[in-house]
Amino acid sequence: MCAAIAFNSVSAQDAKIEDKHQWDLAPVYASDEIWEQAKSELVKQLNDVEKYKGKLAGSSDILLACLKLNSEINKTFGRLYSYTSMKSDQDTRVSKYQAMKQEIAQIGTQFGSKAAFIEPEILEMSKDQIEKFIKEEPELAPFDFYLRDLIRSKDHMGTAGEEKIIAEAGLMSGAAQSIYGIFSNADFPYSTIKLSDGKEAFLDASGYSKYRAIPNRDDRKVVFESFFTELNKFNRTFGTQLAFNVKKDLFYANVRKYNSCLEASLDPNNIPTEVYHKLIENVNQNLGTFHRYLKLKAKMMGVDQLAYYDLYASVVKDLDLEFSYEQAESMVLSAVEPLGKDYKKVIKKAFDNRWIDVYPVKGKRSGAYSNGSVYDVHPYILLNYNGNYEDVSTLIHELGHTMHSYYSNSAQPFEKADYSIFVAEVASTFNEILLFHDYYQSLKKKDEKLSLLMSYLDGIKGTVFRQTQFAEFELRIHEMVERGEQLTGESLNHLYKEIVDRYYGHNEKVCEVPEYIQVEWAFIPHFYYNFYVYQYSTSYTASVALAKKVMSGDKEPLKKYIKFISAGGSDYPINILKNAGVDMTTSEPFELTMKEMNWAMDEIEKLLK
């Protein structure tokens, strides 16, 4: 979260890590031998599901028996896979766990094939028959939402023959994304440049991400110009790949009988298209707030006009701050104080009972995640803690996911515990906001406050404005194809530059957007993810809205928040958020985010005076 608050950590690579800072996976399986026994028992069950084939419409008893068996196998599979996956992540050099992971994944594929009849058979039933079964068999209650949602999608399902063709089309549907991945990651002829200090910089994707933030402005300009000039030499190739990916989306929207690609993408979670359109509308109506941030950044950098190649540079000197893991624990527990004793008690349990694998060691998987898929145990967190503020922020972020999973798993049956991507980042970002405000209140030094505030604003810029900029571009290219227009490297360049110019105030001289930025779209892999990026923005605005309500001290918003993280997938995500007090079909969440952004800028201006 905060690039400017840094710390030269003592690497834990060669140190002996105490047990208390490593996972205790015994609650999942006490040993590899017990894992093997459980796997063998699971394999014996796989064929049992086939005895229900062709019979699901016969009675509510038969449907219940089949769904319960399917659910139990999936729950056990999740537990088996999580164990070996986490074992492998602790040391990726151990081939034994890689092999175990591949083995259980293959078993999952086999079961998926055997159970493939279930949904088509349910879809052959009428809505009235499903409702009759639910009413006469109380034990179908854990499956009622799943069954009703499946029937809701019935209008978008084809005949058995059509479904077979659609399924077979999957062999080709990922071609554009796969080619893009290979070309951009393996075969693209990235350039090497010389920096002002005489060092060479290889500008592949990771090199660009590294060097775009270096302090020397002239070097940053060269980095941007060189990287995107090379990309633009292949805009026709990148354009062809993206065009066929969009046409793939159009194919599925048409055969599924949707009015648009956007509707087809949002319908599985029953999200109204107005949520997407409202986000873009809100951002465009609040570009003045964004431009205020850009001008403030220019002022703090001491330049007359900000340029696009300044966006990732730090505006204050690096601060040599360090946080031991024990300090991080204290900061987290202080930050979650507004969430009450019960919430804090579970967080403490996570620290004390080895739910978290803390330090980086040789062979350990990089990054961080929370795994909440061991339903009958508790979630686990992987960290690579090095001691800077960003690591503290990552810790509380992953604990947000963990608490979401913990509360949902505790409150919901297995069948309703898993929550959708649309709300997945809300609880984690919510926690980051709590940490920011709590830590900010503890700071005394001006430089520390400026650093934290600017980092916070950079996060809002990257999550709300930049991701919505991507979302608008993605919508526009799909609409072009839906109208029968052709996508080419040239037309994509023109559209992208027009959107970026507007967002960054190029024509108003707020931020200079050089011509070569027109091809930045070719660098963004998310454009192959079928309307995914908007969820970063909606999750953030929902988080801010919830956090502001809870931090007010009012007990009612807190009760609603705990219900939200306890809801799992028991309803559609829009309804779950609405019950928590955040209506994503309105402008309120976005307006609260803009209020928060303006507050942070007010604080900076006070400090600068």
- Cα–Cα distance, 125 to 123 (Å, whole number): 5
DSSP 462: I
Q: Distance of alpha carbon 466 from its chain centroid, rounded? A: 15
- Cα–Cα distance, 202 to 214 (Å, whole number): 14
H/E stretch holding 425: none
Known catalytic residue: 398? yes
Give the three-state DSSP class for 412: coil
DSSP 465: I
370 beta partners: 381
The first and second tokens of residue 200, run together, are 């060479």
Q: Which residues contact 591 (CB under 8 A, 6 or more apart)?
A: 282
The first and second tokens of residue 139, run together, are 């034990």
Asked if residue 594 lies in contact with residue 601, where contact means CB atoms within 8 angstroms, the answer is no
CA distances to 39, 88, 357, 362 from 92, rounded to whole Å, are 22, 5, 14, 9
Selecting among 119, 131, 329, 398, the annotated active-site residue is: 398
- Cα–Cα distance, 558 to 549 (Å, whole number): 8
Amino acid code (one letter) for 92: T
- Cα–Cα distance, 325 to 329 (Å, whole number): 6
Closest to 270 in 3D by CA, of 418, 416, 148: 148
- Cα–Cα distance, 416 to 186 (Å, whole number): 41
- Cα–Cα distance, 107 to 584 (Å, whole number): 40
- Cα–Cα distance, 471 to 486 (Å, whole number): 19
> Residue for token digits 């810029």?
461
DSSP 439: H
Residues of the chain by 3-state class (helix, strand, coil), percent to 5: 70, 5, 30
Asked if residue 439 lies in contact with residue 393, where contact means CB atoms within 8 angstroms, the answer is no
Active site residues: 398
